Structure 1
Amino acid sequence: MPAAPPSSPDLASDPLRYDVVVIGSGPAAGMVVSGLKGSGKRVAAVDRRRFGGTCALRGCSPKKVLLNAAKAVDFARRADGVLVSGGARVGLDWPRLHAFQESFTEPVPPSRLEQFRDAGADCYAGAARFTGPDSLAVEGEQGNGAVTLRFDQVAIAVGSVPAPLDVPGEELLIHSDEFLAAADMPARVVIVGGGYIGLEFAHALLRADRQVTIVETGRHLLSPFDSHLADRLAERTRGLGARFECRAKLTGIERVADGSLAATAEREDGELLRFLCDAVLHAAGRVPAVKALDCDAAGIDWDEKGIAVTERLVSVSHPRAFAAGDCVGLGHPMLTPVAEAHGKAVLRTLLTGDPTAPDVSPLPSATFTEPEMAAVGLTVEQADEQGVAYRLIEADLGTKGTFRKLCEPCVGYRMLLEPKGGRLLGVHLLGPGMAELINLFAVALRHDLTLSDLAAIPLAFPTVAKEVVEDAAGKA
């Protein structure tokens, strides 16, 4: 591919023409805009919502505050009478938690705007809509009208939105941003979707002594995590008071006479279910937020999976259009580290004119329940499907001293090793501190290390890392 074209000679005379327009302001967009500082390119950034992106404003960051509070409550309660007294009376203080949460989210929009402007970008607040192969309108930027921007290249990093469920009463659903911004926690909640987001919210609600029902279409919760460990975590969650309805699909929501809600679902065998509740929380997946962009007007191919791009994130139909983050139609996980890797790859392309593929492997992931579950590499199911030979080692670590001191019996691991040589192929962890520990194993997979290699490192003692590594190395 030839080098990126230089700035057009009429840029100075046309204040609305740019070398690069970036649509979005989350982690992928941030990598691109900040990285273009000092490049000599004229850059614009557009976002229909407050600058900062989903993760920082409505997702991972504020949710982690809530989950940390739930973790503290859980530890106090399970350690009551062993390590502490009065732990059973510990509970969440939602107003104070909410105020603390806002101390992280409220500074984000002005900070991101300052970051972008410091990089030399012009920032536009409004909904972007393509009007041609090298132009887009920003609706709402000037009162009720629109301003049209022209570009030589465009980077699309618009993220994702909750997937439509297409059921009667769908407008009564609440989403994570509404839940996190609520004045109080609802007493009875039906969570639609049993993935990591649904389980995380369930654990927070349960530690706040709320009634939780999870409706999941699949056979197991927490797909695509290791199914064996996911089942153990599901049992731990059920022990906290949660109700699960797997192989069931939401069919509708309605408001009843007392002002509460009735959610209906149908099991795979046809049995109908009805739940009275105060809120129905959507945690049933997200889809790329590309429909409103009118990509067809620019000749940019897209579908329900996102922007159609090559493995180097270049549009398959528009050589000057690129995509990054959740809106990319390659099937990559919708995770912040992936968006950041995409942003770095698009930035390199814009600076050099030489498209490069993002580096997203191995990709660790975690669910911040209590206990935590984390994974990197292949699961047993994936290895079997792909015909990859492996040797499985696994253990229940609930009686080990490190975890007994944490009063947490729900602990274990499963690891896939090469039959010869012992190189790690997949690592799956359940227990306190596993979301941090998984990063060590991601490094091991990245550099083709074995458990013996890790065990040869004098790891700090007593720690979760040393307990897990030494136990697994002894079985390798």
Structure 2
Amino acid sequence: MQGPHAPLLASASASAADMPAASAPSPSAAPRAYDVAVIGSGPAAGTVVSGLKGSGKTVAAIDRRAFGGTCALRGCNPKKVLLNAAKAVDFARRADGLLVNGGAGVGLDWPRLHAFQESFTEPVPPSRLEQFRDAGADCFAGAARFTGPDTLVVESYPGPADPDDRDWEEPGVTLRFNQAVIAVGSQPAPLNVPGEEFVIRSDDFLAAADLPGRVVIVGGGYIGLEFAHALLRADREVTIVETGQHLLSPFDAQLSERLADRTRALGARFECRAKLTGIERAADGSFVATAEREDGKALRIPCDMVVHGAGRVPAVADLDCDAAGIDWDERGIAVDDRLLSRSHPRAFAAGDCAGLGHPMLTPVAEAHGEAVLRALLTGEPTAPDVEALPSAVFTEPEMAAVGLTVEQAEDRGVPFRLIEEDLGTKGALRKLCEPCAGYRMLLEPNGGTLLGVHLLGPGAAELINLFAVAMRHGLTLRDLAAVPLVYPSLAAEFVKDAAEKA
């Protein structure tokens, strides 16, 4: 749409940085009316906007950052480029003298790797804008803030215009909506320590063209450990400060400890049961991360960078949901199991910001988006299908899981039978020169239906999908073993060994 009534259209060249707010809306400006206002542009929002194409509904899509969402621009996809490089370096090094010569000398060129990584992220904003516009949505660049139960203001910025969008709205355009979809995702949790301004968030880590020699990572979850594995293969010194007893607490504890041992062998230092207390700047421009252990011992860790890997929280605080009568708290937007606001009959939340405690994963966001889309099209809200969704830690070796852990089954009183094995000496793993591999599986005691599958080893992130399909369809290990699988392969190795124990 061109001319004086064109919406404030998001720039295809907008950076991934936060877009600053501008002036308040003019009281004389008439609100723009839309059937659906979608706040966000990640996988949940994308599913909704694209699915409304041809529905006859008018749609506004708003994002305060470059269109595309965290996963595509600042999360999963750029991170996977780094980890693929780490995987290649690690394989060459561990295969040195066995499969290849000179593997020990293979290194990771971070600046060149970063340039390759950007080739995946730079096309995302214009592509997502094209996707949304093709679906018929008007795309607004700016921070959305609710001003009433059916209005919001887009606190826009006079940023660089898309060449195809020469006319821009005045800052503070107001939108009136019939239904709202909040899909703003998440952001790093505040650390609340002195010197927090020196901490590098995951966005900045992935945007860095190069990284210094000594890095402290706050948090031993999957983000922290994946960053550590990339840094270690780039020959950086890494220290992880984790408040818990062990790393990767949502995953199987025994396999997590094996992966921790493998990570230590790469040179990582772990300080578990320790809480970051501050960051000090040294006279030479470096830093000292301070922490305190549970036993009261104080730690001072010299470093050149401190990276935030201590979890994420829903990014809802700046939406002024109270003005719309939309309840929220630190867990996100208060919704029922159908993703409908508990306090606003025409507002939905989807993805990381929905306060249901679902894992902050792209497949979850997509499932949420599909559920909200069905509600918008049919008028009948339904719960999203998030059962038996696999997840993975893209370290090397990888760890992956679907279903219940032992601890979860015990806490819920679910009876199970556990089978487990160290596969490090098996043929398929020896051929990859990787001794750190194994599985733990929870089976229904009588029929043998899979309740939980936990894998450690090369290719685990791909292999877990096979077990997720089995769980979705109620298959047993014997059912899987009855299917002819490629031999030799990791799938055949894992399935055959587990089926024999089942």
Root mean square deviation of aligned Cα: 1.1
Is the CA contact (8 Å cut-off) linking 1:363 and 1:442 kept in structure 2? Answer: yes
Indicate the residue corresponding to 1:75 in structure 2. Answer: 91
Indicate the residue corresponding to 1:7 in structure 2. Answer: none
Is the CA contact (8 Å cut-off) linking 1:194 and 1:221 kept in structure 2? Answer: yes
Give, in angstroms, the shift of residue 145 of structure 1: 3.0
Is the CA contact (8 Å cut-off) linking 2:437 and 2:457 kept in structure 1? Answer: yes
Match of residue 323, structure 2, among 297, 317, 321? 297
Indicate the residue corresponding to 1:313 in structure 2. Answer: 339
* Partners of 1:377 and 1:37 in 2: CA distance: 34
Which segment is superposed worse, 173-182 or 456-465? Answer: 173-182
Indicate the residue corresponding to 1:16 in structure 2. Answer: 32
Indicate the residue corresponding to 1:5 in structure 2. Answer: none
SS in structure 2 at match of 1:22: strand
Q: After superposition, give the CA deviation of every residue in 1:85-144 in whole Å (9 maximum; x if it has no partner).
A: 110110011122111101100000000000000000000000000000000000125678
Counterpart residue identity of residue 355, structure 1: P
Q: After superposition, give the CA deviation of every residue in 1:402-440 in whole Å (9 maximum; x if it has no partner).
A: 000000000000001111111111100000001000011
Indicate the residue corresponding to 2:296 in structure 1. Answer: 270
Residue 328 in structure 1 maps to residue 344 in structure 2: no
Is the CA contact (8 Å cut-off) linking 1:412 and 1:431 kept in structure 2? Answer: yes
Residue 58 in structure 1 maps to residue 84 in structure 2: no
* Partners of 1:448 and 1:145 in 2: CA distance: 54
Q: How does 1:57-206 map to 2 (within 5 A)?
A: 57-141=73-157, 145-206=171-232
* Partners of 1:301 and 1:179 in 2: CA distance: 33
* Partners of 1:432 and 1:462 in 2: CA distance: 14
Is the CA contact (8 Å cut-off) linking 1:141 and 1:147 kept in structure 2? Answer: no
Residue 456 in structure 1 maps to residue 482 in structure 2: yes
Give, in angstroms, the shift of residue 19 of structure 1: 0.3
Contiguous gaps of at least 5 residues in structure 1: 1-13
Counterpart residue identity of residue 31, structure 1: T
Give, in angstroms, the shift of residue 183 of structure 1: 2.2
* Partners of 2:380 and 2:413 in 1: CA distance: 35
Counterpart residue identity of residue 241, structure 1: G
Is the CA contact (8 Å cut-off) linking 1:50 and 1:109 kept in structure 2? Answer: yes
Q: After superposition, give the CA deviation of every residue in 1:38-71 in whole Å (9 maximum; x if it has no partner).
A: 0000100000000000000000000000000000
* Partners of 2:185 and 2:320 in 1: CA distance: 15
Counterpart residue identity of residue 471, structure 2: L
Is the CA contact (8 Å cut-off) linking 2:424 and 2:436 kept in structure 1? Answer: yes
Q: How does 1:234-245 map to 2 (within 5 A)?
A: 234-245=260-271
Give, in angstroms, the shift of residue 269 of structure 1: 1.1
Counterpart residue identity of residue 297, structure 2: E
Indicate the residue corresponding to 1:419 in structure 2. Answer: 445
Indicate the residue corresponding to 2:45 in structure 1. Answer: 29
SS in structure 1 at match of 2:411: helix
SS in structure 2 at match of 1:212: strand
* Partners of 2:478 and 2:405 in 1: CA distance: 21
Is the CA contact (8 Å cut-off) linking 1:124 and 1:141 kept in structure 2? Answer: no
Residue 444 in structure 1 maps to residue 470 in structure 2: yes
TM-score by length of 1: 0.96
Indicate the residue corresponding to 1:6 in structure 2. Answer: none
Counterpart residue identity of residue 366, structure 1: A
SS in structure 2 at match of 1:91: coil
* Partners of 2:241 and 2:340 in 1: CA distance: 38
TM-score by length of 2: 0.91
* Partners of 1:40 and 1:105 in 2: CA distance: 32
SS in structure 2 at match of 1:126: strand
* Partners of 1:242 and 1:95 in 2: CA distance: 22
Counterpart residue identity of residue 116, structure 2: F
Aligned sequence identity (%): 81
Q: After superposition, give the CA deviation of every residue in 1:365-400 in whole Å (9 maximum; x if it has no partner).
A: 000000000001111111111111111110000111
Indicate the residue corresponding to 1:374 in structure 2. Answer: 400
* Partners of 1:278 and 1:141 in 2: CA distance: 34
* Partners of 2:179 and 2:434 in 1: CA distance: 53
Match of residue 259, structure 1, among 285, 304, 308? 285
Counterpart residue identity of residue 182, structure 1: A
Indicate the residue corresponding to 2:6 in structure 1. Answer: none
Q: After superposition, give the CA deviation of every residue in 1:310-358 in whole Å (9 maximum; x if it has no partner).
A: 1000000000000000000000000000000000000010011000110
Counterpart residue identity of residue 253, structure 1: I
Indicate the residue corresponding to 1:8 in structure 2. Answer: none
Indicate the residue corresponding to 1:342 in structure 2. Answer: 368
Is the CA contact (8 Å cut-off) linking 2:31 and 2:174 kept in structure 1? Answer: no
Indicate the residue corresponding to 1:286 in structure 2. Answer: 312
Counterpart residue identity of residue 119, structure 2: S
Residue 109 to residue 430, structure 1, CA distance change in 2 (3 Å): same
Q: After superposition, give the CA deviation of every residue in 1:246-287 in whole Å (9 maximum; x if it has no partner).
A: 000000001111100110000011110010101000000000
Match of residue 393, structure 1, among 387, 396, 419? 419
SS in structure 2 at match of 1:229: helix
How many residues in Structure 1 have an aligned counterpart in Structure 2?
464
* Partners of 2:213 and 2:370 in 1: CA distance: 43
Indicate the residue corresponding to 1:210 in structure 2. Answer: 236
* Partners of 2:156 and 2:451 in 1: CA distance: 50
* Partners of 2:209 and 2:38 in 1: CA distance: 34
Indicate the residue corresponding to 1:228 in structure 2. Answer: 254
SS in structure 1 at match of 2:366: helix
